[in-house]
Structure 1
């Protein structure tokens, strides 16, 4: 295996931030995700590229109260608290010139993470591109949601559709514009959500598109127009992957990308040299088999940081 260190922007070092909560999810267990990723060797996998890896440990926040939804939201006060704490931690690492990796936790944490990245981009005058790898569009609102679980709402909240205390976390509403985000691997969207995603004009490369056009074409479009002034953020929900290779998630959806398709996504991102922050979310070790989903996630992250089979010609 060989790597090309020029393929990422982590010269200032990489910071791991564990966020052990499943407060936004329907099933318990994602709170154990950060530890599973550590056990699978995430720090060592990144350090092999000669990068300084700092494990910031786990953030702390309220326990999961296990309550039903109130006005369309489950656990809103707890979700707000976790996301505010995460926003502050991510923003501090970005401000220090480091590449933060958020180890989730469920995907409601994308609100705190990406609002911090968006704030950093406003500070530095950078363009933002978010690649959202997920089986779900995560664009539910209180009126649309079947469950009230906020891990189904982060993209809506980031685009300004959500409770005031969540949409304001980064200090700017909306935190991101719909044109900043590309969704890849989508194959489960609730009825009301379909209309909203369409109306907002979010660019979605769903599984049918990937089946018809190929993953390479989808990724070329998702990465189009990225330049040296672009901050590239990857939000990787492990349910993006087909459950036959990644069983350790609470919301499996059949028909996801294969191992090779997922690797290609990561390799093409590495080739841009623009990766500047990362979320790894929805890993649920309670549903996994011998930590294989965490090990697969770490394998993909290695590719994201530039692992390749052969020396590539520049």
Structure 2
């Protein structure tokens, strides 16, 4: 189980999630305006903080989200706290003599490089986040060191007994309920959102003709392959199994009202007109304990790890000397 970052992710995602770094921690003699925090004498620079915040902003922007000026200060504080915690964990790993082999770092760099179509694209990606390959290697080394420390001090010591697994299963039955499901195929005749009544009538008439052929005994799946305009056409219209809440309501209501082998009347959705054939139904059921046992184990390990890490971090902060510096303008105040 890994609590920290997956090094299989693109490195810019790693930077967003784990914060930034500087190849050599600055000494306390650095000008105050260059410091975001000092952690037991190690300086986290404003450059590191700025770059981490900007990385998150870019990531959010790609997802169509923007951090408002009023929320920027809160974001900066949260990111800084993450950087402080990373630094504390790294310092603890060094106290415990944790080392990472160069070959392991090389392997992770190569794995990241392979996620780009070419060496040039990889180098361009580094430049876009203002990062050299040596800095990337330094960052990977730090993260691997921290992860190794977490594994040794926490993960490897977590033991989940069989009784704990069974108790969780028995006390959380609602988590393991499987709702009723149907398996259905459909034939879709699309309607343009801007279609007029004449065009809608024409589309409906086309599906009515197909429905008549189904009623006369022609194979539904073969007709779906020939006439359906849905992505599932290549599979004979098969949508597989689904439960309530997965489909558009009018489609869902029609599907769940049918018995296996039955075909619906024409159903209208925002996508167009559908014919639906239910091919199977599964009643509500409970997931078997043996089927979910390992998922429960992982969940309990995750919960235990989060709890122990939180307590450990609290204790670290209490005994550490941490100074935080905030730029009022950058905080959006």
What TM-score does the superposition give when structure 2 sets the normalisation length? 0.20
| Larger radius of gyration between Structure 1 and Structure 2 | 2
Higher helix proportion: 2
What TM-score does the superposition give when structure 1 sets the normalisation length? 0.21
